[in-house]
């Protein structure tokens, strides 16, 4: 008899993932499950699979593992981390409004903004960006110079008047020899400053392992950092992605990047998958 695995589908600015409470339900082969469940025609449909678990170290409260739609494991996802904060609080797994989340790129601090027991938005301390000595370089003459920024995962940000080239160009650049571990690709167009002085930056994303997505939290952070580095924007900006807008601040006081945005439940369900999963109440 097939086991039924409970899951929750959530999204942050349209970047949708399948969430499984790994404190109760083990996924034997999460890479295979991510490929199967993420299929938008034959599965649940998502950008990937996220496992929420206890933290194995005292420095964090919970842990996250994230698998892209192609089964590859990601280091970090900003949109998923915000969804985890909402999930943990509103499902009664914590009463903390500051949560330390262990990821493959370190411990991230989530600050929940709560009103009447509802998490309306989450600010994530994404820590410091990592820049190479030569962060700006050309990998493709057709798209011009880009800026490399690591937010725990690699990003290559290209400022352009044509963000819609993300499909064909993003696919090619993900696998470019300059990026031996593949890369997330952002195409960004900087707008005029708003009344508060912040620049609005229209951004489209090709995510490593998932293709075009509605939004990417680490990609939004990388774009904001790249814009500040190249003098296109200040340290605060709004990143407008296909699925919504994220507020990004690269603070001078600590060098950390802070991302603020919403998270939303889509639906709960169960899936039969005795081949990949088991429910063992661990």
Q: What is the pLDDT of residues 64-75, one digit of tens each?
A: 999 999 999 999
Residue 203 sits in the same domain as residue 96: no
**What does the mean pLDDT of the chain come to?**
93
Residue with tokens 């589908």: 9
Q: Which domain holds residue 140?
A: 136-255
Number of domains in the chain: 2
CATH number at 64 reads: 3.10.310.10
Residue-wise burial string across 144-167, b where 16 or more C-beta atoms lie within 10 A, e elsewhere? eebbbbbbbbbbbbbbbeebebbe
Q: Which entry of 77, 83, 221, 277 is annotated as an active-site residue?
A: 77
**Are 28 and 98 members of one domain?**
yes
- 143 and 243 belong to one structural domain: yes
pLDDT at 245 over 80: yes
274 assigned to active site: no
Query: What pTM was computed for the model?
Result: 0.91
Please give the Cα distance from 241 to 257 (Å, whole number): 18
Looking at the predicted structure, is the pLDDT value of residue 134 above 80? no
Residue 83 is a catalytic residue: no
Tell me how far apart the 2 most distant CA atoms of the chain are, in Å: 61
- Given a cut of 60, whether residue 186 has pLDDT beyond it is yes
What average pLDDT score do residues 245-274 get?
94
The confidence score (pLDDT) of residue 273 equals 66
H/E run at residue 58: none
Please state at what angle helix 217-229 crosses helix 78-90, rounded to 10 degrees: 130
Position of tokens 């206890």? 54
Contacts of residue 258, defined as CB under 8 A and 6 or more positions apart, other chains included, come to 123, 124, 125, 126, 248, 249, 250, 251
Residue 113 shares a structural domain with residue 202: no
- Of the candidates 13, 83, 183, 216, the residue annotated as catalytic is 216
> Do 31 and 86 belong to one domain?
yes
- What pLDDT is recorded for position 280? 46
How many CB atoms lie under 10 A from the CB of residue 208?
25
């Amino acid at each position: 008899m097939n086991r039924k695995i409970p899951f929750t589908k959530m999204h942050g600015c349209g970047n949708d993932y399948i969430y499984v409470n790994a404190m109760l339900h083990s996924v034997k082969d999460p890479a295979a499950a991510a490929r199967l469940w993420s299929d938008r025609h034959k599965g649940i449909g998502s950008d990937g699979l996220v496992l929420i678990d206890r933290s194995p170290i005292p420095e964090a409260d919970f842990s996250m593992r994230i698998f892209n739609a192609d089964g590859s494991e990601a280091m970090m996802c900003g949109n998923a981390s915000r969804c985890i904060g909402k999930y943990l609080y509103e499902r009664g797994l914590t009463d903390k409004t500051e949560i330390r989340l262990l990821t493959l790129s370190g411990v991230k601090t989530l600050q929940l903004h709560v009103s009447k027991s509802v998490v309306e938005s989450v600010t994530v301390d994404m820590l410091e960006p990592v820049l190479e000595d030569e962060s700006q370089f050309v990998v493709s003459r057709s798209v011009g110079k880009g800026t490399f920024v690591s937010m725990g995962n690699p990003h290559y940000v290209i400022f352009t008047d044509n963000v819609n080239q993300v499909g064909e160009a993003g696919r090619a650049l993900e696998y470019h020899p300059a990026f031996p571990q593949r890369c997330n690709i952002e195409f960004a167009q900087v707008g005029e400053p708003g009344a508060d002085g912040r620049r609005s930056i229209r951004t489209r994303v090709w995510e490593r392992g998932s293709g075009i997505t509605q939004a990417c939290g680490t990609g939004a952070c990388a774009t904001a950092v790249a814009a500040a580095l190249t003098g296109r924007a200040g340290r605060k900006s709004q990143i407008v992605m296909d699925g919504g807008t994220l507020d990004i601040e690269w603070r001078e006081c600590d060098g950390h990047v802070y991302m603020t945005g919403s998270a939303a439940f889509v639906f709960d369900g169960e899936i039969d998958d005795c081949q990949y999963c088991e429910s063992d109440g661990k």
